[in-house]
Amino acid sequence: MRAARLFFTEKLLDWNLEMNNRSMPWKGEKDPYRIWLSEIILQQTRVEQGWPYYERFIANYPTVSDLAAANEEEVFRLWQGLGYYARCKNMLAAAREIQQTYHGQFPNTHDQIKALKGIGPYTAAAIASFAFNLPHAVLDGNVFRVLSRFFGIDTPIDSTAGKKEFAELAQELLPKDNAATYNQALMDFGAVVCKPQRPECSSCPLQKKCVAYHQQLISLLPVKTKKLQIKKRYFNYIIASWKDKVYIRKRTADDIWQNLHEFVLIESKEAADSTQLLSGTDFKELFGTTVYEITRISKQFKQQLTHQTIHSQFINIELAQPTDIPGYQLTPTDTLDNLAFPKTITTFLQSKTGLLL
């Protein structure tokens, strides 16, 4: 076992020196703010997807102080489309915490970093090692996969026992004086060679001692136990306008898309016919007896999220006069550009049937 561990670390570092051509804007970065920003953006997000967002955030907020001073709505707008919006909220809170508590100087100990909003075990280890070369092993999806395959560990990675086991192994494997390079190399290796599907085993420098390779377990490792239930939901959006204004609200409920905006929402248990929707009690509760004219009815839009499938339909109506709709605000249409909306709404708005553009 000890021999296998030494082999693992040595071959990995060799691979990094000789064969690793992976290039990313934040690689080798030493500014903790930039490292932090990249790590938050990349949580559960592919590098190619996060890359342009990173560039935009750095351009708009070059320092943590700039981000701390930023307008929240503006930051959400910049984050729009990236998903997992709690990351954005927590990121802003952390920036303000760093500004206030640490006077804009990014904290440089693992415990201080870990205590910031939105920073868990992985991100704390990543910042601590990349920015300060502190000896903390990162444990992300790549590391779980590489270690489970090479050492042939079938403990489920989404179990408490699995997280503990892999974390301890990762920490033991870490060369304490070379944490930054090693951590980066391990994740690159997982992304480039030991990929989830079709890993490059034939050219893998670790193949000789890889348990999964020799026992035909590549496609079986790592093991995950939890399977998720996907719910179907039906969102009927009433785009109610009066002159050059439209009713919108910011989502605050304990639900998806917190802090993003939307039109008047009537959710139904199944796909609703537009005419019966407009004559239903939900609509009447919102609009009362207000006189309106239907100007457009969209097709059904579908969006697949991790735990639910959202079917959305958009119905444009023009009101004869403004009315009070609890929770919603009559907002000038030309200011919607400054607000963040869920992907399904921006997709609708940019389609031919849209209200804008």
Partner DNA sequence: AAATCGGGGCA
Partner DNA sequence: TGCCCAGATTT
Q: What is the largest CA-CA distance in the chain?
A: 79
Nearer to DNA, 292 or 341 (CB): 341
Q: Which residue has the tokens 């390779």?
A: 213
Nearer to DNA, 133 or 303 (CB): 303
Nearer to DNA, 36 or 292 (CB): 36
Query: Is-contact 300 271, C-beta < 8 A?
Result: yes
Can residue 262 be called a binding residue for DNA (CB under 7 A)?
no
Stretch that binds DNA, among 114-122, 266-274, 290-298, 322-330 (CB under 7 A): 114-122
DSSP labels, 287-331: HTT--EEEEEEEEEEEEE-SSEEEEEEEEEEEESS----TT-EEE
Interface of this chain with DNA, residues 139 to 198, rule: CB under 7 A? 140-142, 145, 159-160, 184, 187-188, 190-191, 196-198
Nearer to DNA, 31 or 318 (CB): 31
**Of positions 53, 85, 283, 328, contacts DNA by CB under 7 A:** 85
Can residue 16 be called a binding residue for DNA (CB under 7 A)?
no
| CA distance from start to end of the chain | 62
Can residue 86 be called a binding residue for DNA (CB under 7 A)?
yes
Alpha-carbon gap, residue 255 to 95, rounded angstroms: 25
Using CB under 7 A as the criterion, what x/- string covers residues 94-113 for binding DNA?
Answer: --------------------
Query: Is-contact 31 130, C-beta < 8 A?
Result: no
**Of positions 5, 117, 209, 250, contacts DNA by CB under 7 A:** 117
Can residue 327 be called a binding residue for DNA (CB under 7 A)?
no
Q: Annotated catalytic sites, by residue?
A: 39
Stretch that binds DNA, among 3-11, 44-52, 54-62, 262-270 (CB under 7 A): 44-52
DSSP labels, 156-223: -TTSHHHHHHHHHHHHHHS-TT-HHHHHHHHHHHHHHTS-SSS--GGG-TTGGG-HHHHTT-GGG-S-
Least spacing, CB of residue 165 vs DNA, in Å: 12
Alpha-carbon gap, residue 159 to 106, rounded angstroms: 33
Interface of this chain with DNA, residues 236 to 255, rule: CB under 7 A? 254-255
Q: Which residue has the tokens 């590098």?
A: 47
Nearer to DNA, 38 or 316 (CB): 38
The vertex-327 CA angle with 324 and 329, nearest 5°, equals 60
Can residue 199 be called a binding residue for DNA (CB under 7 A)?
no
Least spacing, CB of residue 278 vs DNA, in Å: 26
**Strand pairing class (261-268; 308-319):** unpaired
Q: Where along the sequence are the contacts to DNA (CB under 7 A)?
A: 24, 26-27, 38-39, 42-49, 81-86, 90, 117-124, 126, 140-142, 145, 159-160, 184, 187-188, 190-191, 196-198, 222, 224-230, 254-258, 303-308, 342-344
